[in-house]
């Protein structure tokens, strides 16, 4: 039954989703694209793009989009609730533990160690997204087939984000409009 499968998969994703949406993208992609086959890599990248520009946390937005894509409105409710459920219990337990033991040196060491793991998860997700955007697959790197339009658009957006302090929403909207115009005018495959 698809509802039970959605519940189990997003409960597991929610239970092991440490570090926020960006750090969890690879975990979600593995479950949703590779293991379950509910989405293609391209569809997953599209959902990430849409989830980034909609209000709310990235992981919850992705769970909602996948749920509605796989099983309609009941699917989105099940996916979203099951994704959040482990966090509610884990955060309550960790908050109690942190406030009770926050002054211990060991606790500070644990937190510093976790930061490195989260950074690695974000970098892994960024590499997969970059490969998918530039080469059409999250698992390949084929220089002759590089999507030069995507590379240039990405470079321009990075400059605008950091040098001109463009907001993420402005960058997403600009990139979408510019991409639509360029791909339409050139007829290049997207």
- What domain range includes position 32? 2-120
Residue 21 pLDDT exceeds 70: no
CB-based contacts of 33, cutoff 8 Å, min separation 6: 39, 40, 41, 44, 138
For residue 32, what is the DSSP state?
I
Residue 158 lies in a domain: no
pTM, to two decimals: 0.59
Residue 94 lies in a domain: yes
Q: What is the mean pLDDT of residues 109-118?
A: 85
Q: Is the distance from CB of 69 to CB of 38 less than 8 angstroms?
A: yes
Residue 46 lies in a domain: yes
Residue 175 lies in a domain: no
pLDDT for position 109: 85
Query: CB burial class (10 A; 0-12, 13-18, 19+) of residue 174?
Result: middle
Residue 40 lies in a domain: yes
pLDDT for position 190: 65
Please tell me the number of Cα atoms within 13 Å of 70 on its side-chain side.
30
| Number of structural domains found in the chain | 1
**24 closest CA partner among 39, 14, 35:** 14
Residue 189's pLDDT band (cuts 50, 70, 90) = confident
Lowest mean pLDDT among 57-61, 104-108, 177-181: 104-108
Lowest mean pLDDT among 2-11, 58-67, 129-138: 129-138
Residue 8 lies in a domain: yes
Residue 104 lies in a domain: yes
Tokens of 161: 């984000």
Residue 105 pLDDT exceeds 70: yes
């Amino acid at each position: 039954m698809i509802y039970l499968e959605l519940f189990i998969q997003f409960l597991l994703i929610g239970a092991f989703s440490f570090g926020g949406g960006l750090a969890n993208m690879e975990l979600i992609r593995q479950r949703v694209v590779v293991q379950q086959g509910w989405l293609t890599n391209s569809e997953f990248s599209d959902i990430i793009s849409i989830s980034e520009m909609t209000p709310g946390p990235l992981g919850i937005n992705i769970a909602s989009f996948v749920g509605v894509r796989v099983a309609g409105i009941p699917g989105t409710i099940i996916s979203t609730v099951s994704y959040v459920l482990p966090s509610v219990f884990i955060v309550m337990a960790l908050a109690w533990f942190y406030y009770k033991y926050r002054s211990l040196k060991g606790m500070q060491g644990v937190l510093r160690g976790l930061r490195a793991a989260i950074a690695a998860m974000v970098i892994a997700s960024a590499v997969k997204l970059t490969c998918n955007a530039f080469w059409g697959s999250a698992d390949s790197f084929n220089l002759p087939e590089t999507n030069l339009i995507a590379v240039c658009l990405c470079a321009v957006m990075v400059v605008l984000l950091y040098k001109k302090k463009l907001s993420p929403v402005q960058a997403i909207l600009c990139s979408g409009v510019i991409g639509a115009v360029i791909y339409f005018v050139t007829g290049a495959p997207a």
